Amino acid sequence: MSKVLIKGNEAVVRGALLAGCKNFFGYPITPASEIAETAAYYFPLLGGTFLQAESEIGAINMIYGAASFNTRCMTASSSPGFSLKQEGISYIAGAELPCVIIDIMRGGPGLGNIAPEQADYNQVVKGGGHGNYNLIALAPNSAQEMCDLTMLAFDLSDKYRNPAVVLADGIIGQMMEPVEFPKPVETIPDRPWAVRGTVDSHNLICSIELLPDKLEAHNEALQAKYAKIKEHEIRYEATYCDDAEHILIGYGIVSRILHTVVDVLRAEGIKAGLFRPITLFPFPTPQFEAFANDKNVKSFFVSELSAGQMVDDVRLAVNGKKPVNLHTRMGGNIPTVKELVDKFKATI
Amino acid sequence: MKTTILQKPASFYDEFVLKGGSQLKSTHYCPGCGHGILHKLIAEAISDFNIQDRTVLISPVGCSVFAYYYFDVGNIQAAHGRAPAVATGYKRANPDSIMISYQGDGDLAAIGTNEILHAANRGEQMTVFFVNNAIYGMTGGQMAPTTLIGQKSTTTPRGRTLQNEGYPMKMAEIIAILEAPVYVERVMLTDAKNIARTRKAVRKALKIQIDKKGFSFVEVLSACPTGWKMTPVNSKKWMTDVLSKHFELGVKKDISEDREPVIVMHPEPHFKEYHELLDIKSLADKITDVKLPALKPILDEVKIAGFGGQGVLSMGYALANIAMGHNYQVSWLPSYGPEMRGGTANCSVKVSDQRIGSPIIDNPTVLVAMNKPSLIRFEEDVQPGGIILYDSGLIDTPPTRKDVTVIGIQATEEADKLGSRKIANMIMLGAYAKSSGYLLENYILQALPLIIKNKAFHEMNDKAFKLGMRLAK
Ligand SMILES: Cc1ncc(C[n+]2csc(CCOP(=O)(O)OP(=O)(O)O)c2C)c(N)n1
C-alpha cells in the first residue's frame, strides 16, 4: 500500500476510524483542536457520532457512558483539558472501561502556552486522578505512529479493559509525514460485561465497593492487571544501543532530535545509542536494568521538555548503578541538536 | 394510596442482592424518604411500557447512588453531577436504549449544572428524574442549591440567607425556558393525589422518549425527614405548606403533541469504502507513467518563510509531497505556537534518502525567503555551501553571505504578471527544483494539480512553476 503525506493529528483520527472507533466526544483546545475538527468531519461519514461536549468534564463522562456499551470510543485534548478529565478518568479506570484518550501536550502550568511541552508525563503515566490506577500510555514520535499507536491503544484498552492514552506533543501532532494506513479492523473484541440494553445484559458499570475488604480485593485485581500489562506490553525502540557506552533517552519529539544527535556523536566516534520508550506505561524498566548491569554502558543521558519527569522512572530502574544525566527545556522551547550534543559531551 | 405502587414491578429486583446484608427485601432509604416511592413509580412504568430490556438507568452520587440495587435494568453509576453526560454518551452509542438520568438536587443543580443544562439544550433523547429534597441527604444534611431561605442545614446553621447563599434554584423553570426540552413538570410526593400525579408525569416523560420525541424533565419534590430533622408526617405537611409554595407545582412546558419523532439515520458504509471515505489517496497511485530516477544521497533541509498568505506552507506541502512521490523520506513542519504571531509564517521541509531524525531545522541547506523579515531572521542560519532563494522584488537588501549561493527571483512581480500574486510560491518551487536538481520536472507538473486542488489555479501553477525553473538558471 502506498503512502499519504499527512499531519499526525489527522492520522490519529483516521487510525481511530480504521480501528473501528464509532464515537468521538471532545472539547476544543489548541493544539489538539484539529483532532476534534477532523473527527467532526469523518466520524459521521463512517456511521459514527461526533459530539462537541460542554467541557472536558462532559466529554470524558460521555466517554464513560459510551464505553459502557460495546462500541469503541475516544476523546482528545491538551494538557489543561486533560487535567479537567482526571475525575472521569479515575471512574473509567475504576470501572475498567476501555477507551482511548489523546493528549497533545502544551506548556504549563496553568494556561501556560500552546507550544510543545512534555510536562503531562506525571499526570498521565502515574495515574493522575484519585486512587490506585494506571493508564496505558503510548508515545508516538512520527505521523505513522500517531496512526499505528492510536490503533494499538484501542486494542490494548479492549484487551485489558483499561483506558489508554496516546501522549504526544504539538510537534508530533502538527508535523506531516508519509503514512501508510492499514486495512480497517472489521470486528472488535466482544464485551460480555457491557451494558447493551438486552435481556442478557442487565449489567452494572460501577466503581463503588463499600466494604474495605472488597475494595482492597478490587485494587489488588487492578494491580495484578497492571503487572500483566508490564509483563507483556512493553514497547521501545533501541537504535545503536548494542555497543553503546552512553544511552541517550527521550520520547516523542525529543527522541527525533536525539536521533540526529546520536548520528552526530557517532560520526565523531562517540559510542552513543538512542533508547526511546514507546510505552511510557508500562515503562521499559527491565531494559534499563539490563543497561545498568551492562559493563559496556557508562552513562545515561535523558532529555525532556519538562522539569524532568520521565527521568524519575529511568533513575528508579538504573537504581544508582550508573550516572543518569538530564537536560531539559520548558515553556515550549526545544533543544537544538548542537545544544544537546554540547550538553551531552559535558557529562562524559 | 393506590395499592399497585406497593407491588413490586418486574423491573424491580425481588431481593436486593447487590445491597448485601441481611435485609434483602427493604431498601437502604430512611423511613419517609421519597426516593423509594419514586423508584417504584419508575419501575412500574418501565414494566408497563415493556422497556425493561432496553432501559439503562444512571445512578447518581447522592442517596440514590445505589439505585442500581433495585432496578433490574442496565445500570451505570456516574460521578457526582455527570449523569446527563454519561447518559448522553451511552445514548449516542446505543440510540435504541431508553436512558434515565436519576439525580438529586446537589447532583443536578450544583455540581452538575453544566451537564444538565447542555444535555437539556441539545434535546438529548433521555428522561431526567430530578429529586428535589432541598438538602444534601447523603452527606448528612448540608445546604443544597434548592434549600429555602431561612432553612437550617448543617452548613447553614442559622438558616440560608439571601446575602450569603442567594436564592434557591428553580430548575424546572430554568430547563423549561430552553427550546429543546419537550416536557417539564414539577410534582410532589405527599398524598395519594400528588403521588398519582407523579406517576402520570413519570409515564409521560418516559413515553416521550419511547416515541423518540426528545428530552423530558420531571422535578419531584421529595421528603427527607432525616435531613430536615422532622417526622415523616411533619415532612409532608412542610412540603405542602412551605416547600411547594416556593417550588410551584405544575407543567412548566409541554410541546409533546407538536413534536415529531427525531430519528437520526447513520450511514453504514462497507469496510472496503473506508479508505476512500477517509481521503486516503496517494500520489504514487495516480502518477504511474513517470520513470523515477534512483535516489540520491541527500539531506535537504528547506526553510520556507514569508508573510501569511504568501503560500509558504503550501509550497512546503507541495515540495514534501513531490519528494515523497520520488520515494524520498520527508517531513513537513509548520511554524507553530508563538512563532506564528506577527503575520509571518514558515515551514521546515526535510528530504532525505535516509530516515529523518529531527524534523526541526536549526541550519537550513536551502532558505526560501519571501519577505524581508524572513531573510533577516534566517540568513545567518543557512549552512555554508547552502542556497538562499529570495524574492528580489520585495526584498530591497540582498543577502550578504558570501559562502552560500544566492538566487534572487522577482517572484511576486512575475506572479502578478501571470495573473495572481498567490502563485509566487510556485515560481519559487520551480526555482528550488531547478537549483536542487533531484526532482523530475514532468513528475512535478503532473503532481501539482493533484496536490493543490483548487482548479482555478491549475493552469497558472503550471506556468509559474516552469517560469521559476527558467529564472533560476
Ligand atoms: C466530586 C464530589 N464532591 C462531593 C461529593 C460528596 N457528596 C456525595 S453525595 C453529595 C450530595 C448529594 O446531594 P443530592 O444530590 O441532593 O442527593 P440526596 O443525597 O439528597 O439524594 C455530595 C456533596 C462527591 N461524592 N463527589
Question: Does residue B264 sit within a domain?
Answer: no
Question: Does residue B275 sit within a domain?
Answer: no
Angstrom distances, CA of residue A167 to CA of A135, A248, A256, B342: 11, 20, 15, 30
Q: Residue A220: what residue type?
A: E
Q: Among the three residues B235, B254, B273, which one is the final residue of a domain in this structure?
A: B254
Provide the shortest C-alpha distance from residue A286 to chain B (in Å): 26
Are B157 and B130 a contacting pair, CB within 8 Å?
Answer: no
* Rounded Cα–Cα distance for residues B414 and B421 (Å): 8
Angstrom distances, CA of residue B392 to CA of B41, B364, B442: 81, 20, 27
Residue B341 has pLDDT above 70, yes or no: no
Angle between helices B411-418 and B458-471 (to 10 degrees): 140
Residue A112 has pLDDT above 80, yes or no: yes
Count the Cβ atoms, other than its own, within 10 Å of residue B297. 7
Helix (H, G, I), strand (E, B) or coil at A160: helix
Q: Which three cell numbers stand for residue B54?
A: 432496553
Question: Does residue B6 sit within a domain?
Answer: no
Are B217 and B140 a contacting pair, CB within 8 Å?
Answer: no
Angstrom distances, CA of residue B320 to CA of A85, A103, A160, A190, B328: 37, 27, 39, 42, 9
Do B295 and B245 fall into the same domain? no
Contact A58 B118 (CB under 8 A): yes
Do B250 and B289 fall into the same domain? no
Instruction: Specify the DSSP class assigned to residue A306.
Output: S
Q: Residue A75: what residue type?
A: T
- The number of domains in chain B is 2
Q: Residue A194: what residue type?
A: A
Question: Does residue B322 sit within a domain?
Answer: yes
Q: For A25, which of B89, B317, B357 is closest by C-beta distance?
A: B89
pLDDT value of residue A6:
97
Do B311 and B412 fall into the same domain? yes
pLDDT-derived band at B6, boundaries 50, 70, 90:
low
For a pLDDT cut of 90, what percent of chain B falls above it? 89
Spatial neighbors of A268 by CB under 8 A, at least 6 apart, are none
Task: Say what the ipTM of the complex is.
Answer: 0.96
Question: Does residue B3 sit within a domain?
Answer: no
Distance from the CA of B79 to the center of ligand 1, in angstroms? 10
Count the Cβ atoms, other than its own, within 10 Å of residue B122. 18
Residue B185 has pLDDT above 50, yes or no: yes
Contact pairs from chain A to chain B, CB under 8 Å: 236
pLDDT value of residue B337:
54
User: What residue ranges line ligand 1, CB within 6 angstroms?
Assistant: B 61-64, 80, 104-107, 131, 133, 135-139, 144
Of the CA atoms within 13 Å of residue B391, those in its CB half-sphere come to 28
Q: Which three cell numbers stand for residue B113?
A: 449544572
Contact A338 B118 (CB under 8 A): no
For the CA of B103, the closest atom of ligand 1 is 15
What is the average pLDDT score of chain A?
97
pLDDT value of residue B266:
87
Do B171 and B225 fall into the same domain? yes
pLDDT value of residue B4:
45
pLDDT value of residue B473:
78
Do B307 and B408 fall into the same domain? yes
Instruction: Tell me the torsion sign for CA atoms B380, B382, B388, B390.
Output: negative
The residue of chain B with its CA nearest to that of A68 is B90
Instruction: Specify the DSSP class assigned to residue B204.
Output: H
Element (H, E) at B163: helix B162-165
- Give the predicted TM-score (pTM) of the model: 0.96
Q: Among the three residues B254, B273, B304, which one is the final residue of a domain in this structure?
A: B254
Residue B1 has pLDDT above 50, yes or no: no
Which residue's alpha carbon is at the smallest distance from atom 9 of ligand 1? B62
Q: What is the CATH number of the domain that holds B426?
A: 3.40.920.10
Q: What is the CATH number of the domain that holds B176?
A: 3.40.50.970
pLDDT value of residue A238:
98
Q: Are strands B387-391 and A246-249 parallel, antiparallel or unpaired?
A: unpaired
Q: Are strands A72-77 and B55-59 parallel, antiparallel or unpaired?
A: unpaired
Do B335 and B455 fall into the same domain? yes
Residue B400 has pLDDT above 50, yes or no: yes
Do B54 and B193 fall into the same domain? yes
Helix (H, G, I), strand (E, B) or coil at A105: strand
Measured CA angle at B110 (ends B109, B116), to 5 deg: 50
Distance from the CA of B227 to the center of ligand 1, in angstroms? 13
Q: For B92, which of A66, A174, A338 is closest by C-beta distance?
A: A66
pLDDT value of residue A147:
98
Per the listing, cell 475516544 goes with: A74
**Domains along the sequence of chain A with CATH:** 4-232 (3.40.50.970), 237-345 (3.40.50.920)
Peptide bond into A212 cis (omega under 30): no
pLDDT value of residue B5:
47
Query: Which residues in chain A are contacts of B357 at CB distance < 8 A?
Result: 256-261, 263
Rounded to an integer, the average pLDDT of B369-387 is 96
Count the Cβ atoms, other than its own, within 10 Å of residue A204. 18
What is the average pLDDT score of chain B?
94
Per the listing, cell 412551605 goes with: B242
Do B330 and B240 fall into the same domain? no
Q: Among the three residues B254, B275, B300, which one is the final residue of a domain in this structure?
A: B254
Do B55 and B124 fall into the same domain? yes
Q: Are strands A279-281 and A136-138 parallel, antiparallel or unpaired?
A: antiparallel
Rounded to an integer, the average pLDDT of A18-29 is 98
Are B376 and B389 a contacting pair, CB within 8 Å?
Answer: no
* Rounded Cα–Cα distance for residues B401 and B384 (Å): 9
Peptide bond into A80 cis (omega under 30): no
Q: Are strands B344-352 and B98-104 parallel, antiparallel or unpaired?
A: unpaired
* Rounded Cα–Cα distance for residues A11 and A18 (Å): 10
Residue A225 has pLDDT above 70, yes or no: yes
pLDDT value of residue B284:
81
Query: Which residues in chain A are contacts of B267 at CB distance < 8 A?
Result: 44-47
Are A317 and A302 a contacting pair, CB within 8 Å?
Answer: no
- The predicted-structure confidence for B111-163, as pLDDT tens digits, reads as follows 999 999 999 999 999 999 999 999 999 999 999 999 999 999 999 999 999 99
Cβ burial, residue B24 (10 Å; 0-12/13-18/19+): middle
Provide the shortest C-alpha distance from residue B233 to chain A (in Å): 32
For the CA of B35, the closest atom of ligand 1 is 21
Residue B72 has pLDDT above 70, yes or no: yes
Angstrom distances, CA of residue B300 to CA of A242, B117, B269: 29, 55, 42
> Domain range for residue B450?
285-471
Do B295 and B434 fall into the same domain? yes
pLDDT-derived band at B340, boundaries 50, 70, 90:
low
Question: Does residue B266 sit within a domain?
Answer: no
Do B293 and B225 fall into the same domain? no
- The predicted-structure confidence for B8-22, as pLDDT tens digits, reads as follows 788 999 999 999 888
pLDDT-derived band at B343, boundaries 50, 70, 90:
low
Distance from the CA of A204 to the center of ligand 1, in angstroms? 21
Range with the poorest average pLDDT among A241-250, B14-23, B322-331: B14-23
Question: Does residue B268 sit within a domain?
Answer: no
pLDDT-derived band at B3, boundaries 50, 70, 90:
very low
pLDDT-derived band at A144, boundaries 50, 70, 90:
very high
- The predicted-structure confidence for A66-92, as pLDDT tens digits, reads as follows 999 999 999 999 999 999 999 999 999
Rounded to an integer, the average pLDDT of A283-295 is 98
Question: Does residue B465 sit within a domain?
Answer: yes
Bigger pLDDT: A198 or A101?
A101
Do B347 and B211 fall into the same domain? no
